[in-house]
């Protein structure tokens, strides 16, 4: 019985760490998307500035 309980704890701990990893990867992906969109907006804005001037 004790073996089953420790195994359950191990599974719960693994699930918690996986959730942390998922949250971290979501944060990283969001930052990358924000960076790419900001870079794209900047490139587009400088392109517009070249056309306008």
Tens of pLDDT, residues 1-53:
566 666 677 777 777 767 778 899 999 999 999 999 999 888 777 777 777 76
Instruction: Supply the pLDDT for residue 47.
Output: 75
Q: How much is the pLDDT for 53?
A: 64
* Domain membership of residue 38 as a residue range: 1-52
Count of domains observed in the chain:
1
Please tell me the predicted confidence (pLDDT) of residue 19: 79
Token digits for 33? 């998307």
Q: How many whole angstroms separate alpha carbon 49 and alpha carbon 16?
A: 49
d(CA 3, CA 11): 12
* Helices then strands, each counted (H, E), the chain: 1, 0
CA distance 13 to 26: 20
End-to-end CA, the chain: 78
């Amino acid at each position: 019985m004790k073996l089953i309980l420790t195994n359950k704890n191990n599974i719960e701990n693994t699930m918690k760490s996986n959730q942390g990893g998922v949250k971290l990867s979501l944060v990283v992906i969001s930052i990358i998307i924000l960076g790419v969109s900001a870079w794209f907006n900047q490139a587009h804005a400088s392109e517009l500035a070249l056309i306008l001037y």
